[in-house]
A and B are shown apart, each in its own frame.
Chain A
Amino acid sequence: MNSKRGSGSLRGYVHGILDPARLVELVDHCDVVVEARGTFCPEPVIRMQNAAALMSPGQVAMVVADDAGIEIDLPAWCISTRNEYLGVLREERFLRAFIRRAPARTADQD
């Protein structure tokens, strides 16, 4: 019954899969903007979660927040829900984090 897991800390997952130049392009071209400035954990993730429920596979959301913790919570949420974490842009007073909605899961994926 032992299913050993990697002991790496999730702090290592915060980078995302796109480089900053690609993320900058997405600022004006994302499908959904999730505004979460002025809110704190777990509200930004709740807003992302609610938005994700209405998004189609492949669509990109940009979460705008000033709770720095989203830099580790959103990647964790993406790993757990199998969405794609694209990365984060740090502005002076807030962050923009990008997520791509995962394709619908099929029977073979489980």
Chain B
Amino acid sequence: MTDDKIRALGLMSGGLDSTLAANLMQNLGIEVLGLHFSTGFCVADRHRLLGNSNNRDKPYRNDALHAGAQLEVPVEIIDIKDRYLPEVVLHPKHGYGSGMNPCIDCRIFMLQRAKEILQERGYDFVFTGEVLGQRPMSQRRPPMQAIEIEAGLEGLLLRPLSAQVLPATIPEERGWVDRSKLFGIVGRGRHKQMQLADEFGLTDYPQPAGGCCFLPDENYARKLRDLLTHNGPDVDPDDMMLLKVGRHFRLGDEVKVIVGRHESENDFLERFRDGRGSVWLDAFSSPLTLIEGSPSAADLEFACRITARYSAGRTEAEVPVRWRLDGQEGQLVVRPLSEDRQLDEIRI
């Protein structure tokens, strides 16, 4: 590492755009440190939770680490989970997008942290893989500018993929990076990025399917709102984790059930069984259902009927359902719930 080398911090999600941006910086002779922020709301984490349980030979990878390895760029994971929920998700100054996604505040928060690292460790500027016009909330011109200013990175935030259609930054003005070698990509299309990936020899990158974060997802947002409404803002990390899997039904103000949708979700729920009630069938293949809170006898019976509804015994007149609660175990013979309307009313 020579002293006069320009050093930049890149926000790296592991997606194609941030990987291309890092690759481009490297090609221009910049020493790059990738920062990957772990918010606790990452969709890939869910794949890992589930893929983990029953398929050891094909685990899901962390795309940011993988991108770092591909480029031989060091990637540091910055754990922001503790502050992210209370400071960003619950109180976004700039509001939410389609779900509970506070994208503008989220970018500001991450970039503020990047700025702290820049100052602590003597980096020269920060770059991201953002593309002008690609996302409706945070990647339009006015919010992009506001994000830069609020993060305290005015002039020091380079978006190399769209740089040529944005005002010149300090790294360009000072000749640290050659503006003519940057790009002017605009919009949601992926064509130019794929062409660049090909040119850079990047063949193994994640497809931009479904997004990387749970918060814009309306179904997830509903479950999160429900949890916050009933448990308050000091939510347990395990409860947050459980939002990522299963069908959720609210039986009462303090009672919720989570029904596994398939074997890997059941395996996953199994890990959270301690300290929670649970319901399952021995006589038929069935989901594992977890019960949160202190159910009444009627709640327990209803949880058994729901579980029976999703079991292979759903068409039987009655089925025996096992339950475990507060250190006790028992069995109830119940009619599987037959009316989906009843479920829809309590589905979170």
Contact = CB atoms under 8 A, between A and B. Distances in A.
Interface string A71-110: 1110111011110000000100000000000000101011
B5 A76 contact: no
A82 B73 CA distance: 9
B62 A42 contact: yes
Given A4-B200, A80-B65, A10 B45 contact: no
A71 B52 CA distance: 11
A52 B1 CA distance: 20
A69 B199 contact: no
Interface string A1-32: 11111110110010000000000000000000
Interface in B14-68: 23-24, 26-28, 31, 34, 36, 38, 44-45, 48-49, 51-52, 55-56, 59-62, 65-66, 68
Contact of A1 (B34, B44, B56, B181): B181
A51 interface: no
A75 B69 contact: yes
Interface string B191-233: 0000000011111100000000000000000000000000000
A45 interface: yes
B195 to A, nearest CB: 12
Best-surrounded residue of A3, A68, A109 (most CB of chain B within 10 A): A68
Contacts of B201: 2-7
A45 B62 contact: yes
Contacts of B60: 41, 69
Given A67-B52, A69-B52, A80 B77 contact: no
Contacts of B66: 10, 72-73, 76
Contacts of A71: 59
A77 B65 contact: yes
Interface residues of A, number: 36
Contacts of A110: 1-2, 5, 31
Interface in B134-172: none
B200 A41 contact: no
A40 B52 contact: yes
B52 A5 contact: no
A3 B23 contact: yes
Contacts of A4: 200-201
B26 A46 contact: no
Contacts of B27: 1-3
A68 B73 contact: no
B99 interface: no
Given A5-B202, A40-B45, A76-B62, A10 B2 contact: no
Interface string B68-85: 111111111101000000
A45 B181 CA distance: 35
B59 A68 contact: yes
A42 B28 contact: no
B222 to A, nearest CB: 23
B143 to A, nearest CB: 27
A79 B39 CA distance: 24
A26 to B, nearest CB: 22
Interface of B: 1-2, 5, 23-24, 26-28, 31, 34, 36, 38, 44-45, 48-49, 51-52, 55-56, 59-62, 65-66, 68-77, 79, 181, 199-204, 271
Given A80-B73, A105-B1, 7 more contacts: A3-B26, A6-B201, A9-B204, A40-B52, A68-B52, A80-B65, A110-B31
